[in-house]
A and B are shown apart, each in its own frame.
Chain A
Amino acid sequence: MKIVVDFDLCQSHALCTQAAPEVFEVRDDGFLYILQETPPEGLRGKVQKAVSECPTGAITIEG
């Protein structure tokens, strides 16, 4: 599983950081950082929740 974020779409709502804090972090600069580009399979459910809740559809999973 590989995380892909379209940073042109991301508006830093940061809902992903609640759904999958192991993978997503929005720092004080207001930008989203991906902590693990290829997170372990065990996190798939959380990452899917992040994808689903992203208001701008900026996150996709490859693989």
Chain B
Amino acid sequence: MRRIVVVGGSLAGVRSLEALRAEGHDGELVLVGKEPHAPYDRPPLSKQVLRGEWPAEKTRLRFDPAALGVSMRLGVSATSLDALAQRLSLSDGTTLDYDGLVIATGADARRAPQSMPGAQLGNVHVLRTLDDALALHAALVHKPSVCVIGAGFIGLEVASSCRALGLSCTVVEPLAIPLANKIGTTMAELIAQMHRDAGVVLRTGVGVAALEGGANVERARLTDGTTIDAQLVVVGIGVTPNVAWLDGSGVAIGDGVECDATCASSVSNIVAAGDIARWPNAFSGQRARVEHWTHAVEQAAHAAKRLLRGPAFNEPFSPVPYFWSDQLGVKIQFAGHALGGADADELRVVEGSVAERKLVALFGRKDRVVGVLALGKPARLVHYRKRIADGMRWDEAVPLS
């Protein structure tokens, strides 16, 4: 292949470029990224950047385009693709031909629906990009009381950062127990209690009906008729994959770019990686997108190999998904299947205890260990993740040395 274009200037895009070079591609490499910033890392945005501990520059990904021989097209987005002609159209009016393409356009934060009264008020934020984080940090300096809509990882990390800044914070979540769909009800309840103990007000099992105020938001009205005073609202209700530009391209899309087990799209010289790729993971048995940091790194490497070696490279991408979240000074890590709202068949704390809020817990389904959660024990999780990848049985669910 003479020219490979990577669309998407975040972690998956950058790691794809590095992997393509490492795998021996000696032709042209072009990165197209819609944000004007040099590629940056997202995990610090809801933590160090939001709390004002890190300047924006410290989030920059270690990446040397000159050394890798990458032509950078930043501040430019891909507006359409013609997979037959192998041609991209860009937002600056130019076109870009390619021999191979990596789609890594990720996802955008979902905003409050237009149908919600007050969705357009001032001081209603989302948190996805560096600019989002800087704007939110600048607003938090004025010490508003904060309402977070959605108690997913972003919402709870924002709540945690707000408490660290001494701000009052209420989190509104339709689920009865935040995160129960990811880590099961028992462990999710423990984390919810940690937030309550830290002074976060959790309003669960209820939604936001409207935002009210003048030019800026002043309160949130909930579906049960109660109100929450808030001078600032953060909407953390998930993301939408950036696939609109692929309409009519010839690449199969749905909730993301539809890939096979090797990360190839429906078009042979196009692969996808990161938040946007929806593929069948043989480990979990699910066809899904995964929005985690480690996933972007691992999938970028796999997709790069698939692109360079072609269909002859038939190794499936089947990692044990790993993610972490930092909340209230505690590292929460999980590897394995998302638990889908219920506890697994089995739950066993194999290290530490619920009482000390430092633990490693294993989740079992039938005769297998399908997941591991570590709370405040960052170094322990990897041991179990590796064993789970090797097919750990439930009767082996004991502390590992």
Q: Chain A interface (Cβ within 8 Å of chain B)?
A: 11-15, 17-18, 26, 30, 52-53, 55, 57, 60
Q: Chain B interface (Cβ within 8 Å of chain A)?
A: 15, 18, 41, 43, 61-62, 293-294, 297-298, 301, 324, 331, 333, 377-382, 385-386
A26 with B379: in contact, given A18-B386, A55-B43 (CB under 8 Å)? yes
User: Contact between B297 and A14 (Cβ–Cβ < 8 Å)?
Assistant: no
User: Contact between B294 and A55 (Cβ–Cβ < 8 Å)?
Assistant: yes
Measured in the bound complex, the distance between the Cα atoms of B43 and A17 in whole Å is 21
**Of the candidates B41, B297, B333, which one forms a contact with A52 in the assembled complex, judged by CB atoms under 8 Å apart?**
B297
Measured in the bound complex, the distance between the Cα atoms of B378 and A26 in whole Å is 10
User: Contact between A12 and B378 (Cβ–Cβ < 8 Å)?
Assistant: yes
User: Contact between B41 and A57 (Cβ–Cβ < 8 Å)?
Assistant: yes
User: Contact between A12 and B379 (Cβ–Cβ < 8 Å)?
Assistant: yes
**Of the candidates A17, A18, A57, which one forms a contact with B62 in the assembled complex, judged by CB atoms under 8 Å apart?**
A57
CB distance from B191 to the nearest CB of A (A): 18
A sample of 22 cross-chain residue pairs with beta-carbon separation below 8 angstroms, ordered by A number, consists of A11-B331, A11-B378, A12-B378, A13-B379, A13-B381, A13-B382, A14-B381, A15-B294, A17-B379, A18-B382, A18-B385, A18-B386, A26-B379, A52-B301, A53-B297, A55-B293, A55-B294, A55-B324, A57-B41, A57-B61, A57-B62, A60-B62
CB distance from A2 to the nearest CB of B (A): 17
Q: Interface on chain B toward A: helix, strand, loop, or mixed SS?
A: helix
Measured in the bound complex, the distance between the Cα atoms of B316 and A39 in whole Å is 32
Measured in the bound complex, the distance between the Cα atoms of B39 and A57 in whole Å is 14
Nearest residue (CB) in B for A53 is B297
Contacts of A30 in B (CB 8 A): 377-379
Nearest residue (CB) in B for A18 is B382
Q: Which 7 A-B pairs have the closest CB atoms?
A: A26-B379, A14-B379, A12-B378, A12-B379, A14-B382, A18-B382, A30-B379
**Of the candidates A13, A18, A53, which one forms a contact with B333 in the assembled complex, judged by CB atoms under 8 Å apart?**
A13
CB distance from A32 to the nearest CB of B (A): 8
Measured in the bound complex, the distance between the Cα atoms of B298 and A35 in whole Å is 25
Measured in the bound complex, the distance between the Cα atoms of B293 and A26 in whole Å is 21
Contacts of A11 in B (CB 8 A): 331, 378
A13 with B386: in contact, given A53-B294, A53-B297, A57-B62 (CB under 8 Å)? no
Nearest residue (CB) in B for A52 is B297
Measured in the bound complex, the distance between the Cα atoms of B62 and A60 in whole Å is 10
Contacts of A55 in B (CB 8 A): 43, 293-294, 324
User: Contact between A17 and B382 (Cβ–Cβ < 8 Å)?
Assistant: yes
Measured in the bound complex, the distance between the Cα atoms of B41 and A17 in whole Å is 22
Contacts of B379 in A (CB 8 A): 12-14, 17, 26, 30
Measured in the bound complex, the distance between the Cα atoms of B285 and A19 in whole Å is 25
**Of the candidates B18, B62, B331, B382, which one forms a contact with A15 in the assembled complex, judged by CB atoms under 8 Å apart?**
B382
Contacts of A17 in B (CB 8 A): 379, 382
Contacts of B61 in A (CB 8 A): 57
Contacts of A52 in B (CB 8 A): 15, 18, 297, 301
Measured in the bound complex, the distance between the Cα atoms of B43 and A60 in whole Å is 19
Contacts of A18 in B (CB 8 A): 382, 385-386
Nearest residue (CB) in A for B385 is A18
Measured in the bound complex, the distance between the Cα atoms of B381 and A26 in whole Å is 11
Contacts of B298 in A (CB 8 A): 53
CB distance from B182 to the nearest CB of A (A): 18
User: Contact between B294 and A14 (Cβ–Cβ < 8 Å)?
Assistant: no
Measured in the bound complex, the distance between the Cα atoms of B379 and A14 in whole Å is 5
Contacts of B62 in A (CB 8 A): 57, 60
Nearest residue (CB) in A for B43 is A55
Nearest residue (CB) in A for B15 is A52
Max chain A C-beta neighbours (<10 A), residue from B15, B41, B379: B379
CB distance from A8 to the nearest CB of B (A): 11
Measured in the bound complex, the distance between the Cα atoms of B360 and A14 in whole Å is 15
User: Contact between A13 and B378 (Cβ–Cβ < 8 Å)?
Assistant: yes
User: Contact between B324 and A13 (Cβ–Cβ < 8 Å)?
Assistant: yes
Measured in the bound complex, the distance between the Cα atoms of B293 and A17 in whole Å is 18
Nearest residue (CB) in B for A29 is B379
Measured in the bound complex, the distance between the Cα atoms of B377 and A26 in whole Å is 11
